[in-house]
């Protein structure tokens, strides 16, 4: 079982997320995260999907997604691509534990975005593994709530997703 | 000019050259039906049930080679289309399904006859739309037709809110965008051509893609140049002439023993427009593990999906063959002579046919040469595929992928409408009972349909599996209906005939096939007439069963 990151440019209209999610569900693809955002073009959104599977599943998922009319460009992002995720975590803190939590935050270079007598909210951006490590370190203090955006990624160098050819234009 | 949404829809249908639509009116398509009525140039065939209309549009499309159109109202009208749309989706049939929905004011409030048909049909359409703005309607309809009929064809659904149908927008006529498959460059088939040239025993495997691409001529050219035997999937029947000396019959679960043997013996399979479905490849890992496989298909996701191939060529089958064939050298092969000998031996070994088989063999002899054959699903479907030679593309309609019982009668109506030719519907008593209400549609339109009802008082195919795999425990497959199908046909205004004994076969078929209006022939056959050969699901081709091995 490998982990792959896939980027796709899709039409920015309602129903597209449903189409993609429904495709994953009916074909039985195992999705770890999915994030959607705006792009430099108003008519396009970008989806970043983290898939768990093998080469066969990866190939099928890209091809099946490429068949959707609303999917314009799709590529599997290289392993060394820049990929980041944002974490917001609310940790239980009191006068005794606060300094310890802040110390851990410093190691991970997380920011304090909110503090109250019983809780501190921390913000951290990085690779998913880094976020995992941070959360593990905070667990003993009591993670009250956490939110992660899912991975977003972009290829290194001058190549872009726009270099891909839409399958629908090849036939 | 400013037109109402419903009028824009009709104008767009006319842009596409639509002359016949199938459907059923209702509350949320009143404006569309009113516009159809006022326009008067499009023939509308009303069926007894929306499912029949969807199958009719499907049958129409398969025979006409163009996009079929079906219209239904919101709620139950739309949901009744679902099986028909799914059938078309699985068999890549171009269809545009138009449904009404409640007005914007009522949307999302669980209003009367409101249903999310967009959501329901998401996984069974190539694409679908919900139109909430009349200004978008014309372009949506145009795009829908383009998508349905281009690339790998398939159904597209357009759900139009009621208020959109009566609101006005500017309409400018536009001639339809034509789809031309992209030529396939030599570079992408060079390796495949080399592999085929290096092979000793090439076998051509033809699928439904041959018919969809209109590549019969190119396929014949390839087969003759390579001197390679041709086997066909169920969906491919008619794509290569059955009478051609290189044709070795259907392959797969109920294919010929010759086809099975050739699949095992060949060192190179040229798979043209086929997706190696589980009913064809059976054991996908072992099916072609030891051979060179060249696969040409227009759907990228079908390449290497079920069977791993050595050479995948993406693109239109006709274009692919046009590029590939000139690169190959013409030759004569022992393998094709061997294949023809195998087929002749298999034919010689065929036993005295049982009554159901006999009806089909004689019907094939007596039928007009240009007749269209339509089937339902089950044993009779396989017998037809085995014993009714299909000579031409688009003269055979069957639900292959979805296996929709009840498909036949609706499809036969569509086929008759599209071709104006005699249509032979082969059905079983199980299938026929699912949508027999459409007999009234066939009668109303005086369609030349002969229904060969293989009445075995059983759900034969399921029964056959129970006999094979469930120690003959025939749970719910012995049908105890007391229907008199002759009287039934007569009560609907059709002619009713029956075949009970061998000697009835020829005279009754002669009478039925010379009747230019709906005629039902109740063929009273035994309940233990089974389909052979058979390769059990998931098994390899060498395990083919040509004799019945289970003792009762």
B162 as an active site residue: the answer is yes
- pLDDT-based confidence at residue B302 (cuts at 50, 70, 90): very high
How far apart are alpha carbons B381 and B374 in whole angstroms?
9
Q: Which of A58, A77, A96 is the last residue of a domain?
A: A77
pLDDT of residue A166: 86
In this structure, the answer to whether residues A100 and A71 fall within a common structural domain is no
How far apart are alpha carbons B29 and B41 in whole angstroms?
18
Average pLDDT over residues B118-146: 98
B498 as an active site residue: the answer is no
Contact A15 B118 (CB under 8 A): yes
What percent of chain A shows pLDDT beyond 70?
Answer: 100
Catalytic residue among B7, B11, B22, B50: B50
For residue A168, is it within any domain? no
Catalytic residue among B113, B224, B340, B539: B113
Q: Is the pLDDT of residue A35 over 90?
A: yes
User: Does the beta carbon of A13 lie under 8 angstroms from any beta carbon of chain B?
Assistant: no
In this structure, the answer to whether residues A86 and A70 fall within a common structural domain is no
B112 as an active site residue: the answer is yes
Quote the minimal CA–CA distance from B300 to chain A in Å: 6
In this structure, the answer to whether residues A64 and A121 fall within a common structural domain is no
Kindly report the CA angle at B428 between B424 and B432, in degrees rounded to 5? 85
**Chain A residues within 8 A of B181 when measuring between CB atoms:** 171
Q: Could you tell me where the DSSP H helices lie in B402-494? A: 408-419, 429-435, 439-444, 460-469, 485-491
Tokens of residue B313, six digits: 């060529």
Q: Is the pLDDT of residue B204 over 90?
A: yes
DSSP B458: B
Phi, then psi, of B22 in degrees rounded to 5:
-115, 150
Catalytic residue among B43, B112, B200, B490: B112
The tens digit of pLDDT for each residue in B362-416 reads 999 999 999 999 999 999 999 999 999 999 999 999 999 999 999 999 999 999 9
Tokens of residue A40, six digits: 């430099």
Tokens of residue B486, six digits: 């002759």
The CATH topology of domain B355-528 is Rossmann fold (3.40.50)
For residue A120, is it within any domain? yes
The tens digit of pLDDT for each residue in B525-539 reads 999 999 999 999 999
Contact A18 B126 (CB under 8 A): no
- Cis geometry, peptide bond prior to residue B533 (ω within 30 degrees of 0): yes
Q: Is the pLDDT of residue B552 over 60?
A: no
Could you give the ipTM of this predicted complex? 0.91
B434 as an active site residue: the answer is no
Kindly report the CA angle at B414 between B410 and B419, in degrees rounded to 5? 145
The class level of CATH for B2-169 reads: alpha beta
The domain in which residue A99 lies consists of: 82-148
For residue A47, is it within any domain? yes
Domain at A88, CATH number: 3.30.70.1150
In this structure, the answer to whether residues A87 and A66 fall within a common structural domain is no
In this structure, the answer to whether residues A69 and A109 fall within a common structural domain is no
- Where exactly does CATH 3.40.50.1220 map onto chain B? 187-347
What percent of chain B shows pLDDT beyond 90?
Answer: 98
Quote the minimal CA–CA distance from A162 to chain B in Å: 20
The packing angle between helices B190-198 and B317-324, to 10°, is 60
In this structure, the answer to whether residues A144 and A124 fall within a common structural domain is yes
CA torsion, points B304, B310, B315, B319, in degrees to nearest 10? -150
**Chain B residues within 8 A of A55 when measuring between CB atoms:** none
Q: Is the pLDDT of residue B5 over 70?
A: yes
DSSP B405: T
Residues 74-113 of A with CB under 8 A from B: none
In this structure, the answer to whether residues A90 and A127 fall within a common structural domain is yes
Quote the minimal CA–CA distance from B315 to chain A in Å: 5
In this structure, the answer to whether residues A14 and A73 fall within a common structural domain is yes
**Distance (Å) of CA A123 to CA A132, A135, B447:** 13, 11, 72
For residue A157, is it within any domain? no
**Domain tally for chain A?**
2
- pLDDT-based confidence at residue A1 (cuts at 50, 70, 90): confident
Q: Is the pLDDT of residue B550 over 60?
A: no
Contact A171 B298 (CB under 8 A): yes
Q: Is the pLDDT of residue B198 over 70?
A: yes
Check residues A124 and B551 and name the one with the higher pLDDT: A124
Q: Is the pLDDT of residue B279 over 60?
A: yes
Quote the minimal CA–CA distance from B121 to chain A in Å: 11
B50 as an active site residue: the answer is yes
- Where exactly does CATH 3.40.50.970 map onto chain B? 2-169, 355-528
In this structure, the answer to whether residues A127 and A91 fall within a common structural domain is yes
How far apart are alpha carbons B183 and B105 in whole angstroms?
48
CA torsion, points B425, B431, B437, B441, in degrees to nearest 10? -20
Spacing of C-alpha B401 from chain mean position: 8
User: B43 by DSSP, 3-state: which?
Assistant: strand
The answer to which of B111-125, B341-355, B433-447, B495-509 has the lowest mean pLDDT is: B341-355
For residue A162, is it within any domain? no
HSE on the CB side for A61, CA within 13 Å?
A: 27
Q: Is the pLDDT of residue A126 over 50?
A: yes
For B152, which residue in chain A has the nearest alpha carbon? A171
The tens digit of pLDDT for each residue in B259-268 reads 999 999 999 9
Superfamily of domain B187-347: TPP-binding domain (3.40.50.1220)
- pLDDT-based confidence at residue B184 (cuts at 50, 70, 90): very high
User: Does the beta carbon of A167 lie under 8 angstroms from any beta carbon of chain B?
Assistant: yes
Domain at A45, CATH number: 3.30.70.260
User: B264 by DSSP, 3-state: which?
Assistant: helix
In this structure, the answer to whether residues A11 and A69 fall within a common structural domain is yes
A111-116 and A119-126 strand pairing:
antiparallel
């Amino acid at each position: 079982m490998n982990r792959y990151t896939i980027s796709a440019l899709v039409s920015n209209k309602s129903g597209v997320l449903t189409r993609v999610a429904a495709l994953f569900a009916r074909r039985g693809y195992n999705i770890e995260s999915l994030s959607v955002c705006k792009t430099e073009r108003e008519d396009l959104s970008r989806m970043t999907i983290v898939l768990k599977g093998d080469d066969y599943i990866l190939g099928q998922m890209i091809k099946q997604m490429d068949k959707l009319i609303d999917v314009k460009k799709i590529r599997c992002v290289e392993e060394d691509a820049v990929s980041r995720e944002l974490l917001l975590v609310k940790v239980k803190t009191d006068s005794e534990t606060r300094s310890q939590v802040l110390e851990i935050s410093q190691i991970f270079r997380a920011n304090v975005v909110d503090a109250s007598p019983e809780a501190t909210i921390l913000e951290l951006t990085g690779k998913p593994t880094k976020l995992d490590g941070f959360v593990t370190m905070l667990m003993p203090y009591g993670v009250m709530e956490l939110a992660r955006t899912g991975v977003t990624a972009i290829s290194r160098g001058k190549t872009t997703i726009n270099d891909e050819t839409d399958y629908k234009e090849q036939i | 000019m400013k037109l109402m949404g419903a009028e824009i829809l009709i104008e767009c249908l006319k842009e596409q050259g639509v002359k016949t639509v199938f459907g059923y009116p209702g509350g949320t398509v009143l404006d569309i039906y009113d516009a159809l009525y006022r326009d008067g140039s499009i023939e509308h065939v009303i069926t007894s049930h929306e499912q029949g209309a969807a199958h009719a549009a499907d049958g129409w499309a398969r025979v006409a080679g163009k996009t079929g159109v079906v219209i239904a109202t919101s709620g139950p009208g739309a949901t009744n289309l679902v099986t028909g749309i799914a059938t078309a989706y699985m068999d890549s049939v171009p269809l545009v399904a138009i449904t009404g929905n409640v007005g914007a004011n009522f949307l999302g409030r669980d209003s009367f006859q409101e249903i999310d048909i967009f959501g329901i049909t998401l996984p069974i359409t190539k694409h679908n739309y919900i139109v909430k703005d009349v200004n978008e309607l014309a372009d949506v309809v145009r795009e829908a037709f383009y998508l349905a009929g281009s690339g790998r064809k398939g159904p597209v659904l357009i759900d139009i809110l009621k208020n959109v149908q009566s609101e006005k927008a500017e309409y400018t006529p536009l001639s339809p965008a034509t789809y031309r498959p992209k030529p396939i460059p030599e570079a992408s088939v060079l390796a495949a051509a080399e592999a085929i040239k290096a092979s000793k025993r090439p076998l051509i495997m033809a699928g439904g893609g041959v018919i969809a691409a209109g590549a019969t001529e190119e396929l014949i050219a390839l087969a003759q140049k390579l001197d390679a035997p041709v086997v066909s999937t169920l969906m491919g029947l008619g794509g290569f002439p059955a009478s051609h000396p290189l044709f070795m019959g259907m392959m797969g679960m109920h294919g010929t023993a010759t086809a099975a043997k050739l699949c095992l013996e060949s060192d190179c399979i040229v798979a043209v427009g086929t997706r190696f479905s589980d009913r064809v490849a059976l054991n996908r890992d072992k099916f072609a593990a030891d051979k060179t496989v060249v696969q040409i298909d227009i759907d990228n996701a079908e390449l290497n999906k079920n069977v791993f191939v050595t050479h995948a060529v993406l693109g239109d089958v006709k274009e692919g063959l046009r590029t590939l064939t000139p690169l190959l050298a013409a030759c004569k092969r022992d393998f094709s002579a061997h294949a023809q000998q195998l087929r002749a031996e298999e034919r010689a070994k065929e036993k005295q046919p049982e009554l159901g088989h006999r009806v089909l063999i004689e019907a094939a002899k007596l039928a007009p040469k240009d007749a269209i054959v339509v089937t339902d699903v089950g044993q009779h479907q396989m017998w037809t595929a085995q014993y009714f030679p299909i000579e031409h593309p688009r003269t055979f309609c069957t639900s292959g992928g979805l296996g929709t019982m009840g498909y036949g009668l609706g499809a036969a109506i569509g086929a008759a409408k599209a071709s104006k030719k005699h249509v032979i519907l082969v059905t079983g008593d199980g299938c026929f009972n699912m949508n027999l209400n459409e007999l009234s549609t066939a009668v109303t339109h005086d369609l030349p349909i002969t229904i060969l009802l293989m009445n075995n008082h059983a759900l034969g195919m399921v029964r056959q599996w129970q006999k094979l795999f469930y120690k003959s425990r025939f749970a719910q497959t012995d049908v105890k209906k007391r229907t008199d199908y002759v009287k039934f046909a007569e009560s609907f205004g059709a002619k009713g005939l029956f075949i009970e004994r061998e000697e009835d076969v020829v005279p009754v078929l002669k009478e039925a096939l010379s009747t230019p209006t709906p005629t039902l022939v109740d063929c009273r056959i035994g309940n233990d007439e089974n389909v052979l050969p058979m390769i059990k699901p998931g098994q390899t081709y060498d395990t083919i069963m040509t004799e019945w091995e289970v003792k009762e």
